[in-house]
Chains A and B, each alone.
Chain A
């Protein structure tokens, strides 16, 4: 540009003269612009922010107006609808981007109908294109780089390497760090941070008296070794895990067995399980070689997703929601990545493609859970921890035996020859179904006495059954004789969706085989091609019966000796069948069928093996009755497509007479019985579907689970990340381990940032939940990288070691006092020229009051408890569970043991910004509201604590001042200042003495005037700003 100006000047001296001042101005402007921004334009620093703010909303991952997008370089270099190339590297004047941002036509100028870009921004874009429009990866997607420790002037201040990064920045900003906090304040801060509880007076005294140089470090080590440590840090993790005692949505039914997972988390923190192991176990403990019982418990992390038990819901819909939640939660917890943005379209700002989301989802789409009310699959966890080994052994043996039995059946099935037997007639009878149902209900009624129910429940149940029997009988009567014909196509049943209600299907087939040793019943989905990703509703066949029809028309019952199912899920009914046939084979209506609940993904089969080989005349007929009276999701669970075939192989006859097979079945029954004897709770866990019944993942069109597109997807991580290991299995375990592989850019950064935020109040990256390009940038990028690599490579993911370094740093130990000047310069304390000061978390507010008052129970673990909450808070639809205020020590347990109901959180916790545990929460945003004041002033929990604290002060000290000092030490972890003492004493004396304050004296509780006044004082203490902060 300067050259051209010179050239034009040489043409005419006059022009040159006239143009000189202008040229000078331009030259200076260009020079200044250049100097200010340096020669090289950096994409990440200079260009991406301009694109993100001004272009991406319309030309990004969500919308690509006129075919233009700036998400990926190849897109930005492409051609828009206008036919012009958006960016031509090296040639700004040929780039439509520049033409558009500089256009004088308001309808053509970009950003569309918004403020134009500034000349500086346009210049940056121009020069960037000129320099080749180089694209750079966003910092967060580039692995952390080793950092040299910064050189600082005041190196005496430094206690930990991390301090150098903080100090270097402060020195650059012309700030100096604050002095160290006084010992009392420091002990309070570190005690609450590490254990969630303030220091007890004895602990304060011992620390104040300890003048050794490592007095503070000794306290830190004591706190890190305390069992309270696990309880405090589990709170943080359970927010991320969206841990709750109920299932969410309308019914919000209880998950009575979920607490062993909470206890596992607490225990894992206390045992200081390294972060990599901690995470891998939770994501894929079930897939670890030699997975232990505890490993299985840990997988409940991803079974904490809500389940919708509302009547008439589609289980596949909410199973899909849960799988999407697992995908989003995994990426957000481990990498601070907003993967859920990519559910419906490519990421709006970060270079992640739509299909890559579904490749990530594919890792989680092959588990057995299916939004069922029973929360299957579950692990039976003993209430008594000492019984863990026995329960573990039994369940392991049962699982092994089950899979051995199924494997054997499947092998035989595969080796056998099967001959189709075409249907000649198929009908449905509601009468037969109702008849069977009535007799089944009668059987239940007869068995009711054996069940140990409360008399009221017993009576209710009896009444219900009697009514149901009457209804079924009536129905059987009115429907008698009515038979609905069912469609047959190609010899197979093809029942239409119009067939509804409870039905017994009667299928008559012509058999041309000389001898039958097994009958195979195969159930097909309506469309076998698509069912593997978009399944049909499942089916439940209560009972399978069959007859040989003689020429005379006479029917002869076939006695089946065995039912051989294709999967573990139908094994239980097959088992009962085996036992049944040892008894007198009758028309006993006991369940004896097979099922696939709630969805049908693949063809399924069951084999019925007769006691003796059947010999039919050529052209003989068999009648098969499939009785179906159950519903799934409140819809009749009927088979639709059925194919029948028979085998004459000897192997089936051998199996029927095989001792080892029946012994195995008997063994299974024994083990199951033994397990039932141990008092356990059901913990939902992760378990993979068997290989033969796995779902396939496709891309959902715009996130809609009902419309899928494209080919089946192989599980994979997004392209911006390092690749998965070659050749290995693509399962959850591989993914979990991949997060901790060298070169993974975000796992360590996200983890150290989370710890930093817990201790300093704000993360180095403030948006813990978003490290992507529209999250906040790191305040100390070098420190973040250094800490991440240090945690990963030097500390080997040792969480306590990391915390120890953080809390023993000079940065952490600073006083929180803020001068006016510092407040103005750095109001949010991002530079850390002073120590952190944070409000207590909801849990700490409660636990501190209970500890100070001496009420706190130190019992660890076990089922959740119900401390008092206002009446009538619980009133959930179709859910009778009640909140019963706990009595005894359970009333005073630590907050983490409080029952968490998703639709109705514990009110005082929610008021103090606790998570509602519906979805994974990365960061609680502290608020400061009058409703919080009402909680700590008036909630009976806090008033009870105040009264207990007052009693403690009265009984353990003699003088007023000593009592007040004691109370202040219990609550504020320090001695009162003189002025505080005066103010508190004045309140006490005024309350005791003033007759005008009413009702002061012993009224409701029969409390003495002294106690009432001291209770008011204690309540003041727990409401002080100094009590609510750390």
Chain B
């Protein structure tokens, strides 16, 4: 049975057949891949070093949460990030997640709603308000049609507004989910839900889970890298890339596309690379003596980590240095070395993907289009945001594609909730600029590459773009689907904490969305 067959068979099981069938299929695949791997890798010095660290990384074998045997995520203590095979053959090997912090309006970008346009300026019906909680809307707001024209494009004939002329050219590679839904309507909790599977503080981020589950392919770079643009840290703060209850080795490393890319990467001014080498030689030599005297395996781990740090200094600097790209590449992305821009970050993301970084997370801040001021207005600031991300996003997709990387790189683009079809009326009053309030009930996220079916659209909202009428996808469903593409049954990517087999998709039942899989 070839891998792709196995995959589609499993998929069938997940999508159509009963849960129990899935279990059997997954168990079978798991037996073929992971267990085989573990058998062939074990032994030697590594066995000895399954020391204190490893024991803490490992969910105990007497796991109580799973319905079948838990997966084994134990590793050699010296290499807590060493790669592990996925549970079953995967389509995606890495993720580039482009999070538009603040929640971009789907009604100005992807959701073509001519009916809403027809009712523009009219009082919103009472049924839209009953039992709903809003961040700012109060009293009776007016309906607001899209501020921009839409047209159909590409072979797939998908609708898109005129704000994204570059991304428009990639629609045949894109799979839109127009029926995303969340239960959080404030930015920080909603971003936490998207990125950690839980709206409260203290949980492990998506990237941390993936790096915990799969390790990294390039030890000279962090496995989970975060890049920011738009001038602000996203609303949820660094908790969005925290490892939560997972060991801190799995936390995201915030890097910069200018200056020192990783905190503390550069040697102090007085220390040359050769001096650093001599220093490390001395450290290694003395640590060797310490190990000989005390026999603590952590000492050996430490020696290895110092060597890794030395290599990371070279490799991370190189990976982040976009000056090494040609002028034509810069023209394609719109990147300018030395700036902190989304364009630069997209280019860095491609360089990191090439180098085997597992999870690359970009945040672009400033999409919170309430209309409270010009920067937040749909008719003003929103245009700038579109311009900032349109070209680089499209360049990233086509660049990945031309390099053969899109196949196994899962690209995700979207915010933390949607925006209302009603015009915001903060405090019950008409506002100077045009804006929309938060709508947790419906929004659009799109995916590309990494085993996603291209050129399609999943799910539908009503004529006003307010509520989902077909195929709702919860955040946890998106997570389950992405984990599926990465080779995991989301219920099996576990870590034991507080007596529970914790998982990204948390406690409510989540499902893979079979429709969007290639």
A residues at B contact (CB < 8 Å): 49, 52-53, 56-58, 62, 111-115, 248-250, 252, 306, 308, 310-314, 321, 332, 338, 340-341, 344, 348-349, 475, 497-502, 631, 634-636, 761-762, 767, 769-770, 772-776, 816-820, 823-824, 827-828, 837, 839, 870, 872-877, 902-905, 907-908, 910-911, 913, 916, 918-919, 925-935, 937-940, 943, 977, 979-980, 983-984, 986-987, 990-991, 996-1000, 1003-1005, 1007, 1012, 1015-1016, 1019-1020, 1023-1026, 1028-1029
In contact, A977 and B289 (Cβ under 8 angstroms):
yes
Identify A919's interface contact among B77, B202, B270, CB under 8 A: B202
When C-beta atoms are compared, the residue in chain B nearest to A503 turns out to be B428
In contact, B296 and A837 (Cβ under 8 angstroms):
yes
Identify B233's interface contact among A321, A904, A907, A990, CB under 8 A: A904
Most buried by B among A115, A932, A937, A1004: A937
In contact, B139 and A501 (Cβ under 8 angstroms):
yes
Q: A770-B499, A916-B239 are in contact. Are A249 and B189 (CB under 8 A)?
A: yes
> Shortest distance in angstroms between B222's beta carbon and chain A's nearest beta carbon?
7
In contact, B278 and A987 (Cβ under 8 angstroms):
yes
A-B contact pairs, 24 of them (CB 8 A): A112-B20, A114-B23, A250-B188, A312-B134, A349-B64, A500-B139, A818-B295, A819-B295, A823-B48, A870-B260, A904-B233, A904-B237, A927-B248, A930-B306, A933-B305, A934-B313, A935-B264, A997-B278, A1003-B270, A1004-B270, A1019-B271, A1020-B282, A1023-B306, A1025-B299
Give the chain A neighbours of B133 by CB distance below 8 A: 314
In contact, B427 and A828 (Cβ under 8 angstroms):
no
In contact, B294 and A816 (Cβ under 8 angstroms):
yes
| Bound form: Cα–Cα A935–B271 in Å | 15
> Shortest distance in angstroms between A88's beta carbon and chain B's nearest beta carbon?
26
User: Does B326 sit at the interface, judged by CB under 8 A?
Assistant: no
User: Does B286 sit at the interface, judged by CB under 8 A?
Assistant: yes
> Shortest distance in angstroms between A318's beta carbon and chain B's nearest beta carbon?
9
Q: What sequence of 0s and 1s flags, for each residue 271-296 of chain B, a beta carbon within 8 Å of any chain A beta carbon?
A: 11011101101110111011101111
In contact, B263 and A870 (Cβ under 8 angstroms):
yes
Q: How many B residues are at the interface, by size bracket?
A: 35 or more
Give the chain A neighbours of B64 by CB distance below 8 A: 52-53, 56-57, 349, 774
> Shortest distance in angstroms between A988's beta carbon and chain B's nearest beta carbon?
9
Q: A113-B20, A927-B53 are in contact. Are A939 and B283 (CB under 8 A)?
A: no
What would 14 more interface pairs be, CB under 8 Å, given A904-B233, A910-B251, A927-B248? A57-B65, A475-B429, A824-B48, A827-B50, A872-B256, A875-B231, A903-B237, A929-B249, A930-B305, A1005-B270, A1020-B279, A1026-B290, A1029-B296, A1029-B298
User: Does B178 sit at the interface, judged by CB under 8 A?
Assistant: no
Interface with A: B34-42, B66-74, B380-388, which one?
B66-74
In contact, B236 and A903 (Cβ under 8 angstroms):
yes
5 nearest A-B pairs in the assembled complex, by CB-CB distance: A903-B237, A500-B139, A500-B428, A312-B135, A501-B428
Within 8 A of A (CB), among B474-518: 497-500, 507
In contact, B139 and A344 (Cβ under 8 angstroms):
no
Q: What sequence of 0s and 1s flags, for each residue 86-117 of chain B, a beta carbon within 8 Å of any chain A beta carbon?
A: 00000000000000000000000000000000
User: Does B16 sit at the interface, judged by CB under 8 A?
Assistant: no
In contact, B56 and A925 (Cβ under 8 angstroms):
yes
In contact, B427 and A938 (Cβ under 8 angstroms):
no
User: Does B172 sit at the interface, judged by CB under 8 A?
Assistant: no
In contact, B294 and A875 (Cβ under 8 angstroms):
no
User: Does B17 sit at the interface, judged by CB under 8 A?
Assistant: no
Q: A112-B67, A501-B427, A983-B285 are in contact. Are A252 and B237 (CB under 8 A)?
A: yes
In contact, A934 and B248 (Cβ under 8 angstroms):
no
Give the chain B neighbours of A818 by CB distance below 8 A: 294-296
User: Does B3 sit at the interface, judged by CB under 8 A?
Assistant: no
In contact, B279 and A928 (Cβ under 8 angstroms):
no
In contact, A928 and B60 (Cβ under 8 angstroms):
no
In contact, B186 and A312 (Cβ under 8 angstroms):
yes
Give the chain A neighbours of B249 by CB distance below 8 A: 927-929
In contact, A776 and B186 (Cβ under 8 angstroms):
no
| Bound form: Cα–Cα A53–B496 in Å | 13
| Bound form: Cα–Cα A932–B251 in Å | 13
In contact, A313 and B80 (Cβ under 8 angstroms):
no
Classify the interface of chain A: helix, strand, loop or mixed: loop
In contact, B52 and A931 (Cβ under 8 angstroms):
no
In contact, A776 and B201 (Cβ under 8 angstroms):
no
Identify A907's interface contact among B20, B228, B263, B272, CB under 8 A: B263
When C-beta atoms are compared, the residue in chain A nearest to B498 turns out to be A338
Q: A827-B50, A930-B308 are in contact. Are A114 and B68 (CB under 8 A)?
A: yes
In contact, B282 and A934 (Cβ under 8 angstroms):
no
Q: A250-B187, A308-B188, A870-B263 are in contact. Are A349 and B499 (CB under 8 A)?
A: yes
When C-beta atoms are compared, the residue in chain B nearest to A312 turns out to be B135
| Bound form: Cα–Cα A767–B497 in Å | 9
In contact, B235 and A310 (Cβ under 8 angstroms):
yes
Give the chain B neighbours of A762 by CB distance below 8 A: 52
> Shortest distance in angstroms between A447's beta carbon and chain B's nearest beta carbon?
24
| Bound form: Cα–Cα A998–B278 in Å | 12
| Bound form: Cα–Cα A250–B187 in Å | 7
| Bound form: Cα–Cα A902–B228 in Å | 18
Give the chain A neighbours of B426 by CB distance below 8 A: 634
User: Does B267 sit at the interface, judged by CB under 8 A?
Assistant: yes
Give the chain B neighbours of A996 by CB distance below 8 A: 274
Most buried by B among A498, A827, A902, A933: A933
Within 8 A of A (CB), among B48-63: 48, 50-53, 55-56, 60, 62-63
In contact, B135 and A115 (Cβ under 8 angstroms):
no
> Shortest distance in angstroms between B200's beta carbon and chain A's nearest beta carbon?
7
| Bound form: Cα–Cα A902–B450 in Å | 35
In contact, B274 and A997 (Cβ under 8 angstroms):
yes
User: Does B82 sit at the interface, judged by CB under 8 A?
Assistant: no
Give the chain A neighbours of B139 by CB distance below 8 A: 497-501, 636
User: Does B238 sit at the interface, judged by CB under 8 A?
Assistant: yes
When C-beta atoms are compared, the residue in chain A nearest to B438 turns out to be A312
In contact, B302 and A1028 (Cβ under 8 angstroms):
yes
In contact, B296 and A816 (Cβ under 8 angstroms):
yes
User: Does B471 sit at the interface, judged by CB under 8 A?
Assistant: no
Give the chain B neighbours of A987 by CB distance below 8 A: 278-279, 281-282
When C-beta atoms are compared, the residue in chain B nearest to A1023 turns out to be B283
In contact, B296 and A311 (Cβ under 8 angstroms):
no
Most buried by B among A918, A931, A997: A931
Identify B138's interface contact among A500, A816, A930, CB under 8 A: A500
Give the chain B neighbours of A873 by CB distance below 8 A: 263
Give the chain A neighbours of B456 by CB distance below 8 A: none
User: Does B268 sit at the interface, judged by CB under 8 A?
Assistant: yes
User: Does B148 sit at the interface, judged by CB under 8 A?
Assistant: no
| Bound form: Cα–Cα A314–B189 in Å | 12
User: Does B459 sit at the interface, judged by CB under 8 A?
Assistant: no
User: Does B242 sit at the interface, judged by CB under 8 A?
Assistant: yes
Q: A49-B62, A310-B186, A997-B272 are in contact. Are A918 and B239 (CB under 8 A)?
A: yes
User: Does B136 sit at the interface, judged by CB under 8 A?
Assistant: yes
Give the chain A neighbours of B265 by CB distance below 8 A: 934, 938
Most buried by A among B60, B232, B238, B247: B238
In contact, A1024 and B287 (Cβ under 8 angstroms):
yes
User: Does B253 sit at the interface, judged by CB under 8 A?
Assistant: yes
Give the chain A neighbours of B68 by CB distance below 8 A: 113-115
In contact, A341 and B500 (Cβ under 8 angstroms):
yes
| Bound form: Cα–Cα A908–B236 in Å | 20
Identify B186's interface contact among A250, A501, A997, CB under 8 A: A250
Identify B202's interface contact among A341, A774, A824, A918, CB under 8 A: A918
When C-beta atoms are compared, the residue in chain A nearest to B268 turns out to be A943
Q: A636-B138, A1000-B272 are in contact. Are A926 and B53 (CB under 8 A)?
A: yes
> Shortest distance in angstroms between A438's beta carbon and chain B's nearest beta carbon?
15
| Bound form: Cα–Cα A193–B80 in Å | 27
Within 8 A of A (CB), among B194-238: 200-202, 222, 228, 231-238
When C-beta atoms are compared, the residue in chain B nearest to A1013 turns out to be B275
Give the chain A neighbours of B276 by CB distance below 8 A: 937
Q: A877-B232, A930-B308, A934-B309 are in contact. Are A498 and B135 (CB under 8 A)?
A: no
